[in-house]
A and B are shown apart, each in its own frame.
Chain A
Amino acid sequence: MFLVLLKESLIFAWQSLVSNKLRSFLSLLGITIGIFAIILVFTIVDGLENNIRGSIQSLGNNVVYIQKWPWTFGPDYPWWKYINRPTPKYYELDELQKRCKTTQAIAYRLGARKTIKYKSNSIKNASVAGISYEFYKIKNFDLSDGRYFTQNEIEAGYAVVIIGANIAAGLFPNQDPVGKEIIIGGRKANVIGVIKKEGESLLGISFDYQAITPFNFARYIIDTKSENSDPTIYVKAKNNISNIEMMDELTGLMRAIRKIKPIAEPNFALNETSLLSKGFDSLFEIIGIAGWIIGGFSILVGGFGIANIMFVSVKERTNLIGIQKSLGAKNIFILIQFLGESVLLSFIGGFFGLLLTYIITILGKDAVGMDIGLTGTNIILGFTISILIGIISGFIPAYSASQLDPVEAIRTN
């Protein structure tokens, strides 16, 4: 019985919307813009968050970075305490490898921007890194072609290089790069491998524009004493060892290697990816709240628009309500009829809002090159908000319509 009543009420509501096309369009426009604003902001924030968190994840969860500068955020960064610290040295890697018991792998890396050439093709400002052998155990990357360095190539400093996918595409269009000789920072090196394409990353953590060489070769093209080369020792914990446990051991060993007195402050930083995540948490929270406020106001305006149009609709059809009631229509029927109209109106508005968001994300994905997509959560949220705003803004007009006296309602002009 209720379903029949609901069906009839919705048919009435649909007919009313169709008979006042322009009015219906204008009132659903408010909801469309509101849903579009709020869901677009949520979609962009989700996309950015996934991208950045993915990039952070690629750095490794159980990896500790021994560096000069700590990864702390905020306005009170005491840079003067860190400026005179020494950068990590290659010999410290050897010492740590000898003494560390909690680590699965330890690697060294430094880098610089250099021009890479092959015949008439060249890539300027490519990232060139000098690494130690166990680097592949810490950083996850797949090779699409060729092979990784041998330990002998790394230790002896062979002039060999593994290049990123974009460098390969730029230097060797329609050619196989493996076995070819390229020039990095004025020195010749043989390409032995190509890293599989990783895609864009907001944090710039991608091997696509990188060339990696053995450290003992890189020292000829990169100034190892320069702080700009960002020398870092990467340490990965054994599977059953926690980062805290490993960091305790590293702190002791680094203090011993650098001969730091027991009461003196350490002159190195042990950085973890969780520090980066924490820094971004607050940023995303702020962006989310900003989007929430903007979208909230848009929805509120849209809701008032729907309420306004429903009051007009009730006023306009007062004598029709009177006739319906005099023919035996119950209050609940009139209530559902008007409430259905309001919910239908905002549901259609919400649908168009989501459709608009979907189109924008498709266009944005191509333009920005970032993976932004309308998620199931946001679709459900969009429809939930639009239905709710329909109920809340349409209930008072619908209820006042259901309470009309049939005799007085028929008399109304």
Chain B
Amino acid sequence: MKRPRIITAFCIIGYLSVIFTFPQVFSPAIKKLGLFVPAIFGVLVAAYFIACVGLWHFKKWGAELYLISFFSKTFFYLIIRDTGISFYFGIVAAFIFSIILIRYYPKMDKNL
């Protein structure tokens, strides 16, 4: 099945957000939180990026990885107590998108 437009739009937003989020991995604010915090945050950013690639190819593993990375990232932000307006906005947006993903999930390709 061809990739729906909503997922295309989401993937583009996802790629752009990775470009802006990646520099945060080595930002002074994240760095001062702890020795391995940048590495953990970096893994989450990379997982989110890979999930976007998977969704671009309309793969089931992309949707699964997206949900895992979304929950992990939310948990991470809660731990570091970075819960500003953008955090709540991100949760709402990701929640809406998760519902869309679940709707399309049965139609996605299960192969790598």
Q: B13 to nearest A CB, angstroms?
A: 16
Residue B57 contacts which of A42, A293, A295, A403 (CB distance < 8 angstroms)? A403
Q: Does residue B46 face the partner (Cβ distance < 8 Å to A)?
A: yes
Q: Are B42 and A285 closer than 8 Å at their CB atoms?
A: no
CA of A289 to CA of B46, assembled, Å: 23
User: Chain B residues near A288 (CB, 8 Å)?
Assistant: 28
Q: Are A388 and B25 closer than 8 Å at their CB atoms?
A: yes
Residue B46 contacts which of A331, A376, A388 (CB distance < 8 angstroms)? A388
CA of A392 to CA of B26, assembled, Å: 15
Q: Does residue B112 face the partner (Cβ distance < 8 Å to A)?
A: yes
Q: Does residue B36 face the partner (Cβ distance < 8 Å to A)?
A: yes
User: Chain A residues near B46 (CB, 8 Å)?
Assistant: 388, 391-392
Q: Does residue B27 face the partner (Cβ distance < 8 Å to A)?
A: yes
Q: Are B28 and A289 closer than 8 Å at their CB atoms?
A: yes
User: Chain B residues near A300 (CB, 8 Å)?
Assistant: 19, 23
Q: Does residue B45 face the partner (Cβ distance < 8 Å to A)?
A: yes
Q: Does residue A301 face the partner (Cβ distance < 8 Å to B)?
A: no
Q: Are A377 and B28 closer than 8 Å at their CB atoms?
A: no
Q: A390 to nearest B CB, angstroms?
A: 10
B-side interface mostly: helix
Residue B112 contacts which of A285, A289, A331, A377 (CB distance < 8 angstroms)? A331
Answer whether A335 and B112 are a contact pair too, CB < 8 Å, given A38-B26, A289-B28, A380-B35: yes
Q: Are B25 and A392 closer than 8 Å at their CB atoms?
A: no
Q: Does residue A402 face the partner (Cβ distance < 8 Å to B)?
A: yes
Q: Are A292 and B28 closer than 8 Å at their CB atoms?
A: yes
CA of A234 to CA of B78, assembled, Å: 44
Q: A335 to nearest B CB, angstroms?
A: 7
CA of A292 to CA of B23, assembled, Å: 8
Q: Are A384 and B53 closer than 8 Å at their CB atoms?
A: no
Q: Does residue A409 face the partner (Cβ distance < 8 Å to B)?
A: no
User: Chain B residues near A385 (CB, 8 Å)?
Assistant: 25-26, 38, 42
Answer whether A381 and B38 are a contact pair too, CB < 8 Å, given A391-B46, A395-B49, A399-B53: yes
Q: Are A292 and B26 closer than 8 Å at their CB atoms?
A: yes
Chain A, residues 373-410, CB within 8 Å of chain B (1/0): the string is: 00011001100110110011001100100110000000
Q: Are A295 and B18 closer than 8 Å at their CB atoms?
A: no
Q: Are A381 and B26 closer than 8 Å at their CB atoms?
A: yes
CA of A395 to CA of B57, assembled, Å: 13
Q: Does residue A17 face the partner (Cβ distance < 8 Å to B)?
A: no
Q: Are B39 and A380 closer than 8 Å at their CB atoms?
A: yes
Binding site for A on B (CB under 8 A): 18-19, 22-23, 25-28, 31, 35-36, 38-39, 42-43, 45-46, 49-50, 53, 57, 111-112
